[in-house]
Structure 1
């Protein structure tokens, strides 16, 4: 089953942000279904170069169906608002 989602924001602290960790809002995933997506692979494709950035969903964030995904490499700032594929 493939899911789509959007990158909402980088994970942030009070004084810094974490460029390898992003908040992902998944379509059709609620708080009750959250445990089913943990551990799945997340892919964001750069809109200009076509380069793939691969990460994993590691935990849920809040009660609105958002998740925290860790990527292998730093994501560029233009990734915020971009579409991701979850497999």
Structure 2
């Protein structure tokens, strides 16, 4: 696979899917980045692309589209839904 350029210090943790009472949206992912503790800091990440690597080496790409709450969590939409094994793992900002 192609080498992924990582912006220094921009590793985030996948927290959960965006969900409601009866539905979970597996393409919409909530991400917490280290060092971003409020919504104003996290808003600077909107528009960036993120990448998550599977165990087999595939790269799944998404885009940060909005903040989620006031504690620095952002919401990203991926082209394909992420599997459940992705929850709690790290992803990186690609662009």
What TM-score do the two structures reach when normalised by structure 1? 0.92
Aligned length: 86
Q: Is 1:21 matched up with 2:28?
A: yes
4+ aligned runs moved over 4 Å, structure 1: none
Unpaired stretches in structure 2, ≥5 consecutive residues = 1-5
Cα displacement (A) at 1:29: 1.3
Q: Which residue of 2 aligns with 1:34?
A: 42
Q: Quick one: distance in 1 between partners of 2:79 and 2:15?
A: 18
Cα displacement (A) at 1:17: 0.3
Q: Quick one: distance in 2 between partners of 1:59 and 1:35?
A: 7
